[in-house]
A and B are shown apart, each in its own frame.
Chain A
Amino acid sequence: MEGFLDFAVNRIIPALDAGLWTSVLLIVPASLLGIAIGVIVGTARVYAPRPVGKALDWYVSLFRGTPLVVQLYFWYFALPYVSIGGVNLVLSPMWASIIGFALCSGAYQSEYIRGGLLSIKRGQLRAAQALGMTPLTTITSVVLPQAFRRALPGCGNEIIYLIKYSSLASIITVSDLTGMGRSLAKSTFRNTEVFIVVGLYYLALVTVATFVLRAVEKRLELPGFETKKD
């Protein structure tokens, strides 16, 4: 049996590098879609008419209140049993994962966006109106810059969560980091070593993402909008 280092360099890392690419292909579109959904849903929950807001509240509590693995299971295994006009809704594992992650992440993101919007004091809007700003200008020049800064730490955290939970894609047969690790472990029986390296890959991803998000926050930070240290 070769030593851990040789095994890691010759077997684990080449396998995981392929999985890493797949993971990135999941994480990037899912987090972008998640933010887009979060912004639309969060804004609508604050400003849209009551029935729309209520419906979206339900969407959010549904997706926050059920395990992501159940949602993925639904998108991948159950959805094909739904047919609309004779066409069955079959999603590839990749697409089921991206859609599942984005819808779940969007529900969480919308909470942060909503919080950011609600944190804007009425006086800010009155002042903008008093200066003769149109509603559109008020939103782009006053509301969004403030809400975005307040929502940023939460949204960043949610992206970190998404990176970790992207590992669930392996359950619906995607060969991402975890999936590649799982098959390698199965074929070599060296579970501990393989999964330690898999864990290190995620730690690296999460740490780099945290670092980048901190840097973005720092760049956008203004007096009065400091991020609370955790």
Chain B
Amino acid sequence: MEGFLKAALASWEALPYILGGLWWTAGLILGAMALGLAFGVPLAVAHVYGGRLARRLVSGYVWLFRGVPILVQLYLFYFGIMAYLSELPALSFLPLSSGFFSAVVVLGLTSAAYQSQIFRGAMQSLPAGQLKAARALGLSDGQAIRAIILPQALRLSIPAWSNEYSILLKDSALAFTIGVLEVMARTRSVAAVTHQPLPLSILAGALFFFLTWAGIKTLKRLEAKVRIPGYAHQGTL
């Protein structure tokens, strides 16, 4: 016990440094969620309202990104694909050699696969009359989807979204493998210097646990705020 306390005190000095990693962790999650949303919505629309080919392509995308482990994707993009891409002058404006960039792309593309499934489920759970009524008012299909279907579907997706948030948060801890200085990376490097992995890994666990809890609380609040009267809560998909 005494040893543990000493170790904890020794690591205590490193706390500001480790907490500094939260910025990177937050950046990874926000970037990945945004990218996932930007890709996930069109994927879902294509799946629900597109033709056979579109559905095939979306299914293929989902199968691919759901089937390959995040860690392998991180290695593939950071050590492999991004190196190829950086030889293309047209892409020179992108920070292709940054680990953070690779991590956001990997987490975002994977999240897009999952988010597309969430939105698809939400869209398909809307009554068919919604689209019919919009068409009857003279809206084009595109307008109807943008103005009627998506606003409802996105609200319904929030519970599943909080699940997606906690998955992304946990996956973001893998970004240390490609050099992103987020919480896990800093925890490891401090532990390597101080030889105190025990209190440090507990600290890292506690930080992530708190972030999971706080994020889910926030999304619950958001859900209550944008809730449409008359729509029952949907469980996580």
Contacts and interface: CB of A to CB of B under 8 A. Distances in A.
A165 B166 CA distance: 15
Interface in B21-71: 63-64, 66-71
B191 A69 contact: no
Nearest to B237: A230
Given A67-B184, A81-B197, A168-B71, 15 more contacts: A64-B166, A65-B166, A65-B213, A66-B205, A66-B209, A67-B169, A67-B174, A68-B170, A70-B208, A71-B205, A78-B197, A82-B198, A164-B70, A178-B75, A192-B83
A192 B76 contact: yes
Contacts of A196: 76, 80
Contacts of B76: 191-192, 195-196, 198-199
Nearest to A189: B79
Interface residues of A, number: 40
A74 B70 CA distance: 20
A198 B79 CA distance: 14
B197 A69 contact: no
B67 A207 contact: yes
A106 interface: no
Contact of A185 (B68, B70, B75): B75
B209 A199 contact: no
A225 interface: no
17 contacts: A65-B208, A66-B208, A73-B201, A74-B201, A78-B200, A78-B202, A81-B197, A82-B198, A167-B69, A171-B71, A171-B177, A192-B79, A192-B81, A199-B73, A203-B63, A203-B68, A207-B63
A149 interface: no
A166 B69 CA distance: 9
B190 interface: no
Contacts of A69: 173-174, 184
Interface string B87-105: 0000000000000000000
Interface of B: 7, 63-64, 66-73, 75-76, 79-81, 83-84, 117, 121, 166, 169-174, 177, 184, 188, 191, 196-198, 200-202, 204-205, 208-209, 212-213
Interface of A: 62, 64-71, 73-74, 77-79, 81-82, 164-168, 170-171, 178, 181-182, 185, 191-196, 198-199, 202-203, 206-207, 230
Classify the interface of chain B: helix, strand, loop or mixed.
Answer: helix
A206 B81 CA distance: 23
Given A66-B209, A67-B173, A73 B67 contact: no
Given A185-B79, A195-B80, A203-B64, A66 B72 contact: no
Nearest to A82: B198
B209 A62 contact: yes
B75 A195 contact: yes
A206 B72 CA distance: 14
A198 B80 CA distance: 13
B69 to A, nearest CB: 4
A74 B202 CA distance: 8
Contacts of B71: 167-168, 170-171, 178
B197 A199 contact: no
A191 B178 CA distance: 13
